[in-house]
Amino acid sequence: MKPSIKINEESKWIIEETYFNQEWLGKYESIMCQGNGYMGIRGTTEEPYLGETRNTFVAGTFNKFDENEVTELPNIPDLIQMTIKVNDKALDLSKGEVSQYKRSLNLKTGEIIREFHYHLEDDSELAFRFSRFVSMDQKHVISQKVEITSVKGNNRIGIDSGINGQLTNSGSQHFSEGAKHLFEGKYIQMTSETSQSNISMVETTVHEISNAANLSSRIEMRRRQVFNKYWFEVAQGETAVFEKFSNIHTTRDKEHEGKSVEDIEKHGLEELVAVLASGYDTLLTNSAKAWDKEVWSVAPITITSKDHEDQVAINFAKYHLHVMTPAHDNRMNIGAKGLSGEGYKGHTFWDTEIFMLPYFTYTHPEIAKSLLEFRYLGLEGAHKKASGNNYEGAQFPWEAAWIEDGETTPVWGAADIVTGKATKIWSGFIEQHITSDVVYGVNQYVEATGDKEFLETKGYEIILDTAKFWSSRLEWSEEDSNYQITDVIGPDEYKEHVDNNAFTNYTAKWNIQKAIHIYEELKENNVEKFNELNTKLDLDRVYADWLDRVDKIFIPAPNEDGIIPQDDTYLSKKIIDLVPYKEDEQVGTLFHEYNLEQVNDMQVTKQADVLLLIYLFENLFSKEIKLDNWNYYEPKTMHDSSLSLSTHSALAADLGELDLSYQLFKEAIHIDMGPHMTSSDEGIHAASLGGIWQMIVFGYGGVRVLDGQLRIEPHLPENWDNLVFSIFWHGTELKVTVTKEAFEVEVISGEKEVTFDHKGEQYSVTDKQVIKLI
């Protein structure tokens, strides 16, 4: 049976499942995840199946199951599941005869529709149509509708539906059971509380049934469950409609700060009464309008390509970026799997600043600002990590959860293929480039927006505090008479305990250089702010250290062949033939034959490392150095991380390798949208989706910011005839239209004149500017 993901050729907004296969549940649960940034719900079917993973997450509600586990987003009680019986037999598509099956996600509206005909042994036939969405207009609301048509025969239907709190995070139960209520004989409410963080979840649901004969019902309350059971009949030719409306509120919600649980329960009930009065169709219309206003009408992207999949890919990426991003609350950030699965426990990595933040910085700067404010609010945890490692300043955690949690990386991971023992996860201890990655995100945001208020109230402090860490982290080498950074993991996580990783050393020095500039600027031009930060961070003392050390930091320079050593020993390690592994459809197959210790001694790279450095800091390197390093490192890169392909694709476009760039682009968009049907089981690849936007706008649109100056140098792949995108620059919206022959920059909104660079020449635009490419 071939993979069944289908891109609807008539619409650039629809992805489809064309037949049911129980083995592929995880794929569709992830790629058809629904949400609005406040909550995320996996795209499970309503009726249960063995092998499914039912997850509902509310952003920021982290809990620690016990002392032996790290904090994670808890899988809250499920509202989606319905147990459905037809003529006393459970609806089960893996056993019954099914025809005309189709499930689709409309990316434009966020609605999932699943349709099929179900044939029974007694020659009865029913047509089912399931619809549901998570509201973008009312962030707490979920709406579901089931339409059951009796095509042949008169059929009896039974539905159990309510709130199921018997779910776990892979066995870890995060909730203690709370109160259950039934109001007016139909509104069901259940409250649960997390075991360690003491967050109360109030869930309320109601059902409405129309055109159902001989309807009867009763409520059942079980351990961690409360359901309504319904029985009714559907005559031949008739359609019964079963609707379910639900909402979720928590004591962590900013709008409920200071309220009692009883007040939140009352609010949830009152809201749901109004929701029920509105009805499914009105709620969907309002949600679709919110999607258009907040997402699709803002900085739209249009691709004219010979392959319609390319346009669907950016729509898919933008949809998921907004589903997963808690734009409503600066105490929260984006998980590496968004809100689509238990993978990485909902934790935030460098994925945000390097791969996802650029999308928001250039299209939704207010969301980018909120994501960076999360880092500012997390400085206390960064201080704890630094001091715990005997360093000064702010050392950001490799994995972040709630702002007060500090480091949340698990200590132990998968089994070693050779020893059979659990592998220690060293990232939380020694993958330290995250600290300068955060500063990179801050700097990029400030350069693109000109947001001086953020810089003064938060940005300066982040940059200065992190430079204070790096200065204390440097190690003096008497032998080499320089400062080094030893025993780290760089972006290439196949190289543990290395010394002088190029990416880490370059970005640490850059971080300190930024701090020196800020110190001097503030001392001269903003004495009040300088005195405030000097008192808080002891700047006079650390400034002297920065000046003494910054030019003595060891920076791996290109060797005689132009190759920048990834670390002190990489270029001396053995080289093996990676072609069989790189050609395999699955990632990580190298570890079917080697363990990490063995791979550590090979010239094998997991993802872009030196090449990421060149991509992010391109003005530090000549084109010859870029090409030399591309030719050396790309063949040795496994792309075993979903972060890798987008960097390589955008960099290849910069280097004029457009055919290869497009090939990598297609591989990147297939990480989630492609035919590998287990690639997304644990959740969507969040950073890869941010990378899709970067490949298009940074890669083919040629947008960069170099030393604060906007640059636009487009180059389209052969398959594309036209690319239209928008970005915001210092509050001005620019629309860029690119063809093979020329590109046009148009000011859409804003009154400022915008200056940009194109191939070394300066252009200014207040209305429109057309520049020929050939």
Q: Which residues are catalytic?
A: 493
Dihedral of CA atoms 335, 338, 340, 346 in degrees, nearest 10, equals 10
Q: Is 35 exposed, middle or buried (0-12, 13-18, 19+ CB in 10 A)?
A: buried
- CB burial of 61-72 (b: ≥16 within 10 Å; e: otherwise) equals bbbbbeeeebbb
Give the residues across from 103 on adjacent strands.
17, 114
| Cβ pair 412, 422 in contact under 8 A | yes
Residue 412 backbone phi and psi in degrees, to 5: -120, 145
Q: Which residues contact 4 (CB under 8 A, 6 or more apart)?
A: 17, 18, 19, 21, 24
- CB burial of 414-447 (b: ≥16 within 10 Å; e: otherwise) equals eeeeeeeeeeebbbbbbbbbbbbbbbbbbbbbbb
Give the closest residue to 136 by CA, choosing from 291, 328, 329, 32.
291
Q: Which residues contact 221 (CB under 8 A, 6 or more apart)?
A: 180, 227
Give SS3 for 619: helix
Give the separation between CA 723 and CA 718, rounded to whole angstroms.
12
Give the closest residue to 56 by CA, choosing from 44, 72, 71, 41.
41
Q: In what order do the strands lie in the sheet with 742-749?
A: 302-305, 720-729, 732-739, 742-749, 768-772
| Cβ pair 121, 144 in contact under 8 A | no
Quote the radius of gyration of the chain (alpha carbons, Å).
27
Q: Which residues contact 311 (CB under 8 A, 6 or more apart)?
A: 12, 302, 303, 305
Give the other-Cβ count within 10 Å of 278's Cβ: 16
Q: Is 574 exposed, middle or buried (0-12, 13-18, 19+ CB in 10 A)?
A: exposed
Strand pairing report for 187-194 and 422-424: unpaired
Q: Is 486 exposed, middle or buried (0-12, 13-18, 19+ CB in 10 A)?
A: middle
* Alpha carbon 158 to chain centroid, angstroms: 38
Give the separation between CA 283 and CA 138, rounded to whole angstroms.
9
